[in-house]
């Protein structure tokens, strides 16, 4: 009688649980063990800032609990269990139980690594003080909510000007706090063009959030005063969001190939080692436009990587179509979205590219609510091939980014975009949708 396949999954969030679930669906006899360092699995991390601001129950963000996976899907989920090493020659994972301090080994036939990423903490004296947080995992949100309930902070300093802290800024304001965002670089949202960052700064300022760029932070005092080269800032609560880095230290002595600490995978999410797969925030992922692997830690990417890797571990041969880097987020009443490449990214990667930007109404002429949105399309001069877009303006309008993301997947040109049959109804869009208006202007710059 053939023994069941033994699978070990490292990491219990989006990628790991997607892979584990896919394997069990396809091979019901498989023994699947998931090792999760924390106390939660399968949760909506992107909802954490809003859960804090709206005073929701933190468990509302949990899709399935560890017990649900055990009883409903037959997956052995082990919480507070940290993978501390991997021996790919003997096919063993070395595990440390954080609840008992016991170490043990797990044999596997196939291994999936979805260990995620961890917050990058800048070398600032005082980052370990009570009241200083990072918001990366669900337990971080749980601790922030508890601190707010107990301490009732009135002043928040947010270190880092990315979209996590901008979302937190909105939600801390909702809780009645004074909020200051300190950014070390010369501007916020450097993955976006200046128009988008200017809109975000304007909306934050309008809602009472102060933003200071080009700040060097020297230390955080005992009383949570943040000392910088641009003055001292008093705080009752501090959040640091200065990027993330792959959580792969435990692989340093293994044969698994890393690139800038991220796991190298192919389009089947295989690593360079037989029977070892990886995906999510700890790994690279294939970018369709650039035709190469990139590091882009997003929940959407992690879920897709886990599902396809799990299917392939169970015997399928599914090739990943790739990402185009679609991002969307909200700042108070404004929305900001991007897909594909910015003009700078396109030029830096060797494309002969141009951009076209328009501002247009989001409803028909004469409709009572006449909001506006800016659309920026990036394309190749010679072929007119679409390379990317940014859309920013009234929050209810930036969903249009999905139209452009689909166009990027289909490898459409500006001429193709110009001919799209987009919906028209006065409450939803003018007869010429802003995307079409932008394409009509962009076509004039295409050489062929």
Catalytic residues: 46
Check: CB of residue 426 under 8 Å from CB of residue 344.
no
Check: CB of residue 52 under 8 Å from CB of residue 171.
yes
Radius of gyration of the chain (CA): 23
List the beta strands (DSSP E) in 316-395.
Answer: 327-331, 334-340, 353-361, 372-380, 386-394
B/e letters for 205-243, b = 16+ CB within 10 Å, e = fewer, are eebebebebebebeebeeebebbbeeeebebbbbbbbbe
Check: CB of residue 98 under 8 Å from CB of residue 82.
yes
User: Cα–Cα distance between 239 and 138 in angstroms, integer?
Assistant: 15
- Identify which of 370, 281, 345, 412 has the alpha carbon closest to the alpha carbon of residue 12: 281
Bridge partners (DSSP) of residue 232 are: 227
DSSP state of 93: E
User: Cα–Cα distance between 237 and 240 in angstroms, integer?
Assistant: 10
End-to-end CA distance of the chain: 65
As a whole number of angstroms, the longest Cα–Cα distance in the chain is 74
User: Cα–Cα distance between 421 and 427 in angstroms, integer?
Assistant: 17
Check: CB of residue 447 under 8 Å from CB of residue 382.
yes
Q: Which residues contact 275 (CB under 8 A, 6 or more apart)?
A: 91, 108, 109, 110, 111
What are the tokens at 249? Answer: 């230290």
CA quadruple 113, 118, 123, 126: dihedral positive or negative?
negative
Bridge partners (DSSP) of residue 388 are: 340, 378
């Amino acid at each position: 009688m053939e023994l069941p396949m033994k699978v070990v999954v490292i990491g219990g969030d989006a990628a790991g649980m997607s892979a584990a679930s896919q394997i069990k669906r396809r091979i019901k006899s498989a023994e699947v063990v998931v090792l999760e360092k924390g106390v939660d699995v399968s949760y909506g991390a992107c909802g954490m800032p809003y859960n804090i601001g709206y005073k929701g129950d933190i468990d509302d963000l949990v899709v399935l609990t560890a017990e649900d996976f055990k009883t409903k899907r037959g997956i052995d989920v082990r919480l507070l269990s940290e993978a501390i090493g991997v021996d790919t020659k003997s096919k063993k994972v070395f595990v440390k139980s954080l609840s008992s301090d016991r170490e043990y080994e797990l044999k596997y036939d196939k291994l999936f690594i979805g260990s995620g990423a961890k917050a990058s903490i800048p070398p600032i004296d005082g980052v370990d003080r009570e009241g200083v947080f990072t918001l990366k995992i669900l337990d971080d949100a749980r601790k922030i909510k508890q601190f707010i309930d107990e301490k009732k902070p009135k002043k928040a300093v947010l270190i880092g000007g990315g979209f996590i802290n901008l979302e937190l800024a909105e939600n801390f304001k909702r809780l009645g706090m004074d909020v200051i965002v300190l950014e070390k670089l010369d501007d916020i949202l450097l993955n976006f063009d200046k128009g988008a960052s200017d809109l975000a700064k304007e909306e934050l300022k309008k809602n009472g959030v102060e933003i200071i760029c080009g700040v060097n932070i020297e230390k955080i005092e005992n009383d949570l005063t943040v000392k910088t080269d641009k003055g001292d800032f008093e705080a009752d609560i501090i959040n640091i969001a200065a990027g993330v880095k792959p959580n792969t230290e435990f692989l340093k002595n293994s044969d698994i190939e890393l690139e800038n600490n991220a796991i190298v995978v192919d389009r089947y999410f295989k690593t360079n080692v037989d029977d070892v797969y990886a995906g999510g925030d700890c790994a690279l992922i294939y970018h369709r436009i650039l035709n190469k692997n990139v590091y882009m830690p997003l929940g959407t990417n992690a879920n897709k990587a886990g599902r396809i890797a799990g299917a392939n571990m169970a015997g399928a041969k599914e090739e990943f179509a790739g990402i185009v880097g679609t991002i969307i987020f909200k700042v108070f009443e404004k929305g900001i979205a991007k897909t594909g490449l910015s003009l700078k990214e396109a030029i830096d990667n060797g494309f002969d590219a141009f951009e076209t930007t328009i501002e247009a109404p989001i409803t028909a002429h004469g409709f009572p609510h006449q909001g506006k949105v800016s659309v920026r399309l990036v394309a190749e001069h010679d072929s007119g091939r679409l390379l990317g877009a940014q859309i920013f303006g009234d929050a209810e309008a930036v969903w249009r980014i999905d139209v452009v993301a689909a166009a990027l997947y289909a490898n459409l040109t500006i001429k193709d975009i110009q001919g799209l049959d987009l919906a028209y109804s006065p409450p939803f869009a003018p007869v010429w949708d802003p995307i079409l208006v932008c394409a009509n202007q962009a076509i004039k710059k295409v050489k062929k």
